[in-house]
Amino acid sequence: MAIEVRKISDLNEVDVSKLIQESEKEGYRFVSRLASEYEDGTNRFSEQGEALFGAWDGEELVAIGGLNRNSKSQGAARLQRAYTLPSYRRKGIGSELFNALFVHAKGEFNEITTKTESSKADAFYRANGFQFDERSPDITHVYSL
């Protein structure tokens, strides 16, 4: 399995249907929100410093995640819509995706924030250098750049 992580310049040119289908089976709607917000222009990850990255196994998109400016915290990015297909978890793919996002964010932001209510996501974030943080109801984890 040769995974390639790269920046997504136009989500309309990427097939996210399997990610949407699998995430909704798990009860998550944030990948479908990512697609609909991109389509209607609400969030295209196009402000300065923002980016959307994907991980591919050949032609198949197996993970996705993006950074937006955190409007509530100066100098911070917000990790958004990070999802990996269940069959690709625990293989280092999410960590590779995060690393690409971290490299992209350096020099533009001083921290990355996110929020989760999932114990699995909490463990994953902590394993990837995030610290648990309760400074606001919109943040559960912070990664310092």
List pLDDT tens digits, range 84-142. 999 999 999 999 999 999 999 999 999 999 999 889 999 999 999 999 998 889 999 99
HEC string of 20-52?
HHHHHHCCCCHHHHHHHHHHHCCCCCCCCCCEE
74 band by pLDDT with thresholds 50, 70 and 90: confident
Task: Tell me: pLDDT of 76 over 80.
Answer: yes
* Per-residue confidence band for 72, with pLDDT thresholds at 50, 70 and 90: confident
Q: Which tens digit of pLDDT belongs to each residue from 16-49?
A: 999 999 999 999 999 999 999 999 999 999 999 9
71: confidence class by pLDDT, cuts 50, 70, 90: confident
Q: How far, in Å, CA of 122 to CA of 70, rounded?
A: 20
| pLDDT value for 105 | 97
pTM as predicted: 0.94
- On the question of pLDDT at 62 being above 90, the answer is yes
What domains does the chain contain, in order, with CATH numbers?
Answer: 3-144 (3.40.630.30)
